[in-house]
């Protein structure tokens, strides 16, 4: 069983990922290029620890998920899959719950998230990107839910992918395992932006700058609202959303934003370093 940084202490460096924070921008980079950034139990545990650490930092206003090498993420590591094939149901269930927890932590990250997808993403790698608010990819990228071709299903990633592209599209690509081009992924609403490989960083930065001029608190509230309201009956949503906007109007950030607008100046958070 792999030990998490919580168990060993924060002085222990990450083995499978890299993190950095600069100018309010956090970057979490998958760092297993030798296996096309395929994930195993160590990477899953380290990503969960990193996401929790970054979420607790007040100076983080945007999170970028990136990857080293030519492939964003090839899905599950074959050696890890082989090990779990020899385990019983209890072990496999516990292991799968850790993956589900990591994906949920990324999906519910309290600041805007951007997946910078170069190369291709398969299986769980497609799910990791789907948990982000924005996906920017290169025009040579491909995506595939290939699990059914080896007798498995895209189970833990399914709640996030279905929310992103809808049940109809998910049925088509989950059941066939068909590979999608970047253009097709854009057509079905999975990807937000397709650019050349040379323009990938510029495209990501444009989204970052848009997020940095928005109210930090408002962005977090908006993300939570999007998750909650999607599943609410209209009558419940009526009261819930009215309460949200009423609270924000009297909040420090809301008052600063409205005063800045009326005074034709930039709000204070846009000048934060």
For range 176-192, the mean pLDDT: 97
Angle made by CA atoms 83, 44, 216, in degrees to the nearest 5: 170
**pTM attached to this predicted model:** 0.92
d(CA 235, CA 135): 32
The first and second tokens of residue 93, run together, are 């269930």
Asked if residues 65 and 128 have their Cβ atoms less than 8 Å apart, the reply is yes
According to the per-residue pLDDT averaged within each range, which of 11-15, 161-165, 269-273 is highest? 161-165
C-alpha closest to that of 175 among 156, 196, 158, 153: 153
In this model, does residue 85 exceed pLDDT 90? no
Task: State how far Cα 271 lies from the chain centre.
Answer: 26
Return the CATH superfamily for domain 216-271: Lyase 2-enoyl-coa Hydratase, Chain  A, domain 2 (1.10.12.10)
In this model, does residue 273 exceed pLDDT 60? no
For range 112-117, the mean pLDDT: 98
For range 195-201, the mean pLDDT: 97
Instruction: Select the CATH number that applies to the domain covering 5-212 from these four: 3.40.718.10, 3.40.50.300, 3.90.226.10, 3.30.360.10.
Output: 3.90.226.10
Q: What are 229-247's pLDDT values in tens digits?
A: 988 999 999 999 999 999 9
**Does 216-271 match 5-212 at the fold level?**
no
Q: What are 169-178's pLDDT values in tens digits?
A: 999 999 999 9
For range 206-210, the mean pLDDT: 97
Name the pairing type of β-strands 25-30 and 17-22.
antiparallel
In this model, does residue 165 exceed pLDDT 50? yes
Please state the domain extents for the chain. 5-212, 216-271
In this model, does residue 2 exceed pLDDT 60? no
């Amino acid at each position: 069983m792999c030990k998490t940084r919580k168990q060993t202490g924060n002085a222990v460096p990450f083995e499978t990922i890299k993190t950095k924070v600069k100018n309010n921008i956090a970057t979490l980079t998958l760092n297993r290029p030798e296996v096309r950034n395929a994930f195993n139990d160590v990477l899953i545990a380290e990503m969960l620890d990193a996401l929790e650490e970054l979420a607790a930092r007040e100076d983080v206003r945007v999170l970028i998920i990136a990857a080293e090498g030519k492939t964003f993420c090839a899905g599950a590591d074959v050696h890890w899959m082989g090990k779990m094939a020899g385990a019983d149901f209890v072990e496999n269930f516990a292991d799968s719950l850790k993956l589900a927890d990591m994906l949920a932590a990324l999906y519910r990250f309290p600041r805007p998230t951007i997946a910078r997808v170069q190369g291709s993403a398969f299986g769980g790698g497609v799910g990791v990107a789907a948990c982000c608010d924005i996906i920017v990819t290169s025009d040579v990228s491909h995506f595939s839910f290939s699990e059914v071709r080896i007798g498995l299903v895209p189970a833990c990633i399914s709640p996030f992918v279905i929310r992103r592209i809808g049940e109809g599209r998910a049925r088509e690509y989950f059941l066939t395992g068909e590979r999608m081009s970047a253009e097709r992924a854009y057509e079905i609403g999975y990807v937000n932006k397709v650019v050349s490989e040379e323009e990938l960083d510029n495209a990501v930065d444009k989204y970052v700058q848009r997020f940095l001029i928005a109210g930090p608190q408002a962005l977090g509230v908006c993300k939570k609202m999007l998750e909650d309201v999607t599943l609410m009956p209209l009558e419940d949503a009526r009261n819930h959303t009215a309460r949200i906007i009423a609270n924000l109007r009297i909040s420090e950030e809301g008052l600063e934003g409205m005063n800045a607008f009326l005074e034709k100046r930039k709000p204070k958070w846009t000048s934060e370093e």
